[in-house]
């Protein structure tokens, strides 16, 4: 698999630039991303009390946008978000998406019911604002599919399945609903052939790429701190999955990003 792709413009649709891992060198991290062709990034706020700090990062750097919501693993620890609160945040010019939200029964199964309530709040905010929903789901495929499908029947909204590593049934449901699948470093791991097959079966115009940095660094950086520059390494594998050269895959996923994250579009 390719390790050093040629320089082409690409987007990191999901990273966490406010995390302590980047505190000492954020300007350098963003500079390295730009040098690798990653000209736009969406930094994700996972607890609403952190929103001011995440917003400040987006305001400080050209090409950096942000989203905010309550991560499902934090849903039981944080005050329940309200639709009005999320709508108010969405008025900021660099606020481009809602979440990440969703369901995680792998690490936090005991809070499943609270997670469901939180997810429905975020869905309503996406329906009201027209901004895309950013979904985290782990070991909760059936409930995630059911809640998203029910929400779409009530009122349509747009959505990306972030860091997709779930099963093929959830992938098909998401595609059928008009949603997007986002490819992370997981797709580069040798044992992730099933994940690559799921992406290969999806339409190219529904694919995004991301780092989820500082987590899930792709090969050949696996085990190290991830950062937005490494989007290019994941995209090199994505290009092979779709039988494209790197520049074509970068252009396609960037166009998909523009279509979904309209406030961050070129």
Q: What percent helix, strand, coil does the chain show, rounded to 5?
A: 50, 15, 35
Q: Are 47 and 70 in contact (CB under 8 A)?
A: yes
Is the Cα dihedral 41, 46, 48, 50 positive or negative?
negative
Residue 136 is assigned to a ligand binding site: yes
Residue 100 is assigned to a ligand binding site: yes
Cα→Cα distances 129→1, 101, 122, 169, Å: 40, 16, 10, 28
Measured CA to CA, the distance from residue 47 to residue 175 in angstroms comes to 28
Instruction: For residue 208, give the nearest of 153, 139, 264, 138 by alpha carbon.
Output: 264
Residue 212 is assigned to a ligand binding site: yes
Question: Could you tell me which residues are annotated as the binding site?
Answer: 14, 16, 100, 136, 162, 212
Q: Which residues are part of a known binding site for a divalent metal cation?
A: 14, 16, 100, 136, 162, 212
């Amino acid at each position: 698999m390719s390790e050093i792709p040629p320089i082409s413009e690409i987007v990191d649709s999901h990273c966490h630039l406010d995390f302590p891992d980047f505190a000492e060198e954020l300007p350098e991290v963003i500079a390295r991303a730009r040098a690798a062709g990653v000209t736009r990034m969406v930094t994700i706020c996972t607890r609403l009390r952190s929103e001011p700090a995440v917003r400040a990062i987006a305001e400080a750097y050209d090409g950096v946008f942000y989203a905010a919501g309550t991560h499902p693993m934090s849903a039981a620890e944080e005050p329940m978000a309200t639709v009005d609160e999320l709508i108010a945040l969405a008025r900021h010019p660099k606020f481009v998406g809602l979440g990440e939200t969703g369901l995680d029964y792998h690490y936090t199964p005991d809070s499943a019911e609270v997670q469901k309530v939180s997810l429905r709040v975020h869905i309503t905010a996406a329906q009201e604002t027209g901004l895309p929903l950013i979904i985290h789901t782990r070991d909760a495929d059936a409930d995630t599919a059911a809640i998203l499908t029910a929400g779409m029947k009530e009122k349509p909204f747009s959505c990306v399945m972030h860091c997709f590593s779930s099963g093929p049934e959830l992938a098909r449901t998401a595609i059928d609903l008009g949603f997007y699948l986002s490819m992370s470093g997981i797709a580069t791991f040798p044992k992730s052939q099933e994940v690559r097959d799921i992406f290969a079966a999806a339409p190219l115009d529904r694919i995004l790429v991301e780092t989820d940095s500082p987590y899930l660094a792709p090969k050949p950086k696996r085990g190290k701190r991830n950062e937005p520059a490494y989007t290019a390494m994941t995209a090199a594998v994505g290009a092979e999955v779709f039988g494209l050269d790197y520049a074509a895959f970068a252009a396609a996923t960037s166009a998909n990003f523009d279509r979904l994250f309209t406030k961050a579009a070129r």
